[in-house]
Chain A
């Protein structure tokens, strides 16, 4: 970055700051704060899923039997529920990411709350349709 702040003195000692754990503390947060928490939780979830996905793909290397066995598990209701959870995470993170990008540059910043409500409503509707399709076997 181009700045020359070169700040060296911290605001407070670690034990007197909220810390990274404070990112997930919902006490006293408003809508923007909840959006911030949701984005972090879903982001972490999606990163974990990426690694889980690689583990699943590695089963292909173990031959057809291992893969067929996994597919049977993947079609079980608990696993399908995880698919719905993944879809919800992707929708929240992706749509809220658009909001963060726009308001972070001052575009429609005064509408940040309305935008969050609108985008999360879209996320809920798409997740609902997705869940019906996932459990409906389409």
Chain B
């Protein structure tokens, strides 16, 4: 790390994962980037692409943690590059998210992630086209799961998704729990039953990394735990003959 200039800017080394289609192995390229106190990892990557290596592939859009497209691993930890500051780090290692197919350099294919969400069939049903003047009591509990930006970071952080490629993953279970908690006219029972599966709630080993890593404050691990309780309750009801719904 070079000494900071009078304006607080200094040079940081970016180690960037590189792998193009057809490559048999990954490599890491190093770039010296001028950074300031508020420089984000995405700022640095955009500068590298603009000024040093136009072949660097990365995905981004909004620059303010809203679109969820710039999820990656920075120094081994998942985060949105647009809101992850370089800080005081002398070296920043940037890698694509884990557990999803690498398309190129820092970009992963999101289709397998979206396929995990498909079975839940999340409804986007408005009761009204206008926002009510007063929100219902307890709406905060629901909006938490509504906040998911589908960035895939939870899937990358999950150690079980890394070892079991058929695990449906934290985001899908959180989405399912949103339906159960606030069904908006849908039947919650089939959703609970869908998630009562060895590839769903019972595959989680409670590392809690998904909730810790989530940039939107969604709590997928909490959703998994609640869905487990709902699944157990539904089984008990089926077993003792008091209905099959959740």
Residues of A within 8 A of B (CB): 1-5, 7-14, 16-20, 22-23, 25, 27-33, 35-36, 100, 103-107, 109-110, 112
Contacts and interface: CB of A to CB of B under 8 A. Distances in A.
Interface of B: 73, 75-78, 98-102, 112-113, 115-116, 119, 155, 157, 159, 161-163, 165-169, 193-200, 202, 204-209, 211-213, 221-222, 225-226, 228-229, 231-232, 235
A5 B197 contact: yes
A20 B232 CA distance: 28
Contacts of A9: 112, 115
B202 A32 contact: no
Contacts of A36: 159, 205-209
B80 to A, nearest CB: 14
- Say what secondary structure dominates the interface of chain A: loop
A1 B162 CA distance: 22
Contacts of A30: 208-209, 212-213
24 contacts: A1-B197, A2-B197, A2-B235, A3-B200, A4-B193, A11-B161, A11-B165, A11-B167, A14-B165, A17-B98, A18-B98, A25-B76, A28-B76, A31-B212, A32-B221, A35-B207, A35-B208, A36-B205, A36-B206, A103-B208, A104-B204, A104-B206, A105-B225, A109-B225
Contact of B77 (A4, A11, A28): A28
B2 to A, nearest CB: 26
Given A11-B99, A13-B101, A28-B75, A18 B162 contact: yes
